[in-house]
Structure 1
Amino acid sequence: MTDTKTRRQTSENRIVIAREPGGPDVLDVVSRPVPTPAAGDILIRNTACGVNRPDQIERLGFYPAPPGAPEGLGLEVAGHVEALGEGVTGFSPGDAVCALVAGGGYADWSVAPAGSVLPVPDGVPVADAAGLPETVFTVWANVFETGALSQDETFLVHGGTSGIGSTAIQMAKAAGARVIATAGTAAKVAQCRELGADIAINYRDTDFETVVTEAGGADVILDMVGGGYVQKNINCARVGARIVSIAFLAGSRVEVDLMRVMLKRITLTGSTLRARPVEEKARLAAAIRQTVWPWIAAGALRPLIDSRYALDNVRAAHERLDSGEHAGKILLDC
């Protein structure tokens, strides 16, 4: 039976759109009707939502939303169940949840497929749980499934204090791996160590390739830089290593020495998350709930929050994101 009665009497929903490609000044907060959940969907009254690098790329005009995605920016939310679409079970109105969404996350209300919705884990405030879905789904899919990281292997992550990086450090440590992280300032290097990194490298004054090689090399590498890092990753990878690219801040077109890839039997791959089928995201969510949520309950993983902004101040949040000075997640309070 469909439950579409909302607890808040209003028909307006603030969302954030980019009126044209450009900087933070192109972001506008506009009003739309409160969405109605279709069959299999859940309507969430958001407490907070996460600001992520893909949002920046979409704002710049290089990451269009997949067909059928809700209007507006935003890929992750946390709040309370407002209404259930037909056929949804396992949730009730009022439940505290967080969710991965294909769009429309910067909003008062968001609609998410039920399979991409998870209960807020024990010990995490609802307002902080908005910093979990995009990063945890990404790390689980790329490091643990594609990268097949296992206990006692060595894991290298670049951008160790980013939302993805800070989550990857903690999840890899929880799984029993040795972790090496790179970051761009002494303060961020120290923060990587606080998060659990066994070795943290300031890439601005130290060659990470040399340090990782001297440490025995890496079995799994999560790269968000691209460019010249691709060959350096190959150089410091162990035999049989898996290198997974999920972004390319330094460029997507590179020249690499394939001989080293062949001799080391390296798997060089990459992926995106947003356009994956609903069924695939549901499968990831089930695995995360079974493995990662207990890590959070045990205190081995927490969302690292850099800063919070009101939804109406979304431009300032994106200015913070563009600066590259943040450590952890930037959140919008709805």
Structure 2
Amino acid sequence: MKAAVITKPGGPDVLEIHDRPDPVPGHEQILVRVRASALNRADLLQRRGAYPPPAGAPVDIPGIEFAGEVVALGPGAREWRVGDRVWGLVGGGAHAELLVTHERAVAPIPDALAWADAGAVPEAFITAHDALRQADARPGEVVLVHAVGSGVGLAAAQLSRAWGMRCLGTARTPQKLDRARNHGLDAGLALGTDLATLAPFVREHTDGRGADVALDLVGGPYLDATLGSMATLGRIVLVGTMAGARGELDYRRLLQGRITLRGTVLRARPIEERIAVTRRFGAEVGPALASGAVRPVVDSRFSLDELPRAHERLESNATFGKVVVTMS
């Protein structure tokens, strides 16, 4: 098979396409021919040598999400048939023509979705869905989403609207906010270095209450600003750290608001947890994707051979939605 290989830590130029032996599915595993994948911040960090893959994942082949078709079953695998269209998340190795994964860690792809669109779904929608469920988001509540123009942010906005919630969001530019209004965003704030504007914006759009739920995909100083924007008993889920992995927090806001703060990650979770998350996504989000109630947002498409250019595109921070990588 052809696979993208990180030849050494560095910039996009360290990515090369190599021939690698086809993987062989083990017990209760399936072999999947990858038709499309997408890029994530984890891929950029892994390429730079800052985010090694979890145990059992290929050490030098990036890619944590995939859409493809089953081409072989390992011993004991019984849930799928050859030819079934499936998508899911893996610890690595998705930027290749073939991969193996546990048969229960995938969900069926709706027939209506083309491969390139399907490749934009798993990480964005599974992450957003899982984070909203961890926050116990409920109809009638207000959800604040940072980096709402990202793949996860747009998925969270769409799911919020589909589940009867209002979505407030932040982005780097007004242009991204304008586009996000077509994908579930009710009101947006172009947030630069002056984070003091966040709390007044949120309170203006919540009759002074604050947000019930916040998905923080940015981290760094955003987290403290988010604390000041929450309603009493609000729930914050920290999903990403694009603005930094450290920052100061005003603990009084946390205490006085009785706010719940939790972090989440998918890539490093044990297999049984990833199976549970994927199955719940398949049951609760799959029908919405099939009907078109929610849909993937593709920023751009690149072939596997163009992967260095795809990395450059994601690193530009100008993306809106997902950078998709097609294998064929």
Taking structure 1 as the reference length, the TM-score comes to: 0.93
Aligned residue pairs total 321
TM-score (norm 2): 0.94
1:133 to 122, 125, 128: 122
Q: Is the 8 A contact 2:79 2:104 kept in 1?
A: no
| Per-residue Cα deviation, 1:277-304 (whole angstroms, up to 9, x for no partner) | 1111111122111111111123211110
Counterpart for residue 29 of structure 2: 41
- 2:183 pairs, out of 186, 195, 205, with 195
- 1:101 alignment partner in structure 2: 90
- Give the counterpart letter for 1:228 in structure 2: P
Indicate yes or no: 2:249 matched with 1:259. Answer: no
User: How far apart, in 1, do the equivalents of 2:222 and 2:14 lie?
Assistant: 32
Map 1:3-42 onto structure 2 (within 5 A).
Answer: 13-42=1-30
Determine if the alignment matches structure 1 residue 274 to structure 2 residue 302: no
| Residue aligned with 1:54, SS | helix
Shift in Å at residue 90 of structure 1? 2.3
Equivalent position to 1:210, from 200, 212, 218: 200
1:4 matched residue in structure 2: none
Percent identical across equivalent pairs? 40
Q: Distance in 2 between matches of 1:239 and 1:296?
A: 33
**1:282 corresponds to which letter in structure 2?**
I
Task: Report the Cα distance in structure 2 between the residues aligned to 1:254 and 1:159, rounded to whole angstroms.
Answer: 18
Aligned match of 2:308 in 304, 310, 315? Answer: 315
Show the counterpart of 1:8: none
Distance of 1:319 and 1:332 partners within structure 2: 13
Shift in Å, 1:209 = 2.4
Alignment of 1:60-209 (within 5 A): 60-71=48-59, 72-144=61-133, 146-204=134-192, 207-209=197-199
Matched AA of 2:308: R
Amino acid at match of 2:178: A
Structure 2 residue matching 1:115: 3-state secondary structure: coil
Taking the aligned partners of 2:29 and 2:287, their CA distance within structure 1 comes to 25
Residue 270 of structure 2 aligns to which amino acid in structure 1?
P
Amino acid at match of 2:68: G
| Offset, 1:68 | 0.9
Query: In 2, distance between residues paired with 1:226 and 1:285?
Result: 25
Q: Which runs of 4+ in 1 moved over 3 A?
A: none
Which of 228, 238, 251 is residue 245 of structure 1 equivalent to? 238
Letter paired with 2:230: A
Q: What is the CA-CA distance between 1:219 and the residue it aligns to?
A: 0.9
Alpha-carbon separation, structure 2, partners of 1:153 and 1:70:
41
SS in 1 for 2:300: strand
The match for 1:295 is 288
What is the root-mean-square deviation of aligned Cα atoms in Å? 1.4
Q: For residue 122 of structure 1, report the CA deviation from its aligned partner.
A: 4.0
C-alpha distance after superposition, 1:163-214 (max 9, x if no partner): 1111111111111111011112222111110101111221148923221122
Q: What SS is found at the alignment partner of 2:20?
A: strand
1:306 maps to what in 2? Answer: 299
Query: 2:260 and 2:48 mapped to 1: Cα distance?
Result: 31
Distance in structure 1 (CA, Å) of the matches to 2:290 and 2:326: 24
Which residue identity lines up with residue 67 of structure 1 in the other structure? Answer: A
Checking the alignment, whether the CA contact within 8 Å between 1:115 and 1:281 is kept in structure 2 is no
Deviations 1:226-283 (A, max 9, x none): 1211111000001111111121111111111111100100111112111111111111
* Partner SS for 1:22: coil
Shift of 1:156: 0.6
Q: Distance in 2 between matches of 1:41 and 1:268?
A: 36
Q: How far off its partner does 1:70 sit?
A: 2.8
